[in-house]
Amino acid sequence: MNKEPAEKDFGVQPLDAVMTRLELSNHDLVSASTQQLSHKMVQKGRRGRRLTLKVQQKILTAVLAAKPDVRLALQDLFNY
C-alpha cells in the first residue's frame, strides 16, 4: 500500500498578485489578523506551499480586515 505523496508545492499563488495589487505586505496581514496568523503562514501561502483550509481562511480574513472595501473569496487567493 504505497500511497503517492500529496503535492506540496503549487507555485506562486494568486494571493501573491492580490497582495501586490493591494499594496499589502506579509506584516500588514499579520497585523490585521485577530487570529493566530504568522508571517511564515503568509509566506508559505504566497509561494504555493499547501496550507490547510483553516490557514487559508485565516489569510482571507486578514486580507478582508486589512482592506474592508475589497470583495474576495478563497478561490481568488488559492488555486488548489
Rounded to two decimals, the pTM is 0.89
Confidence of residue 5 (pLDDT cuts 50, 70, 90): low
Sign of CA dihedral 7, 41, 16, 56: positive
What is the residue extent of each domain of the chain? 14-69
Confidence of residue 72 (pLDDT cuts 50, 70, 90): very high
Confidence of residue 8 (pLDDT cuts 50, 70, 90): confident
CB 51 within 8 A of CB 18: no
**pLDDT tens digits, one per residue of 35-66:** 999 999 999 999 999 999 999 999 999 999 99
Q: What is the mean pLDDT of the chain?
A: 93
The three-class DSSP label of residue 49 is: strand
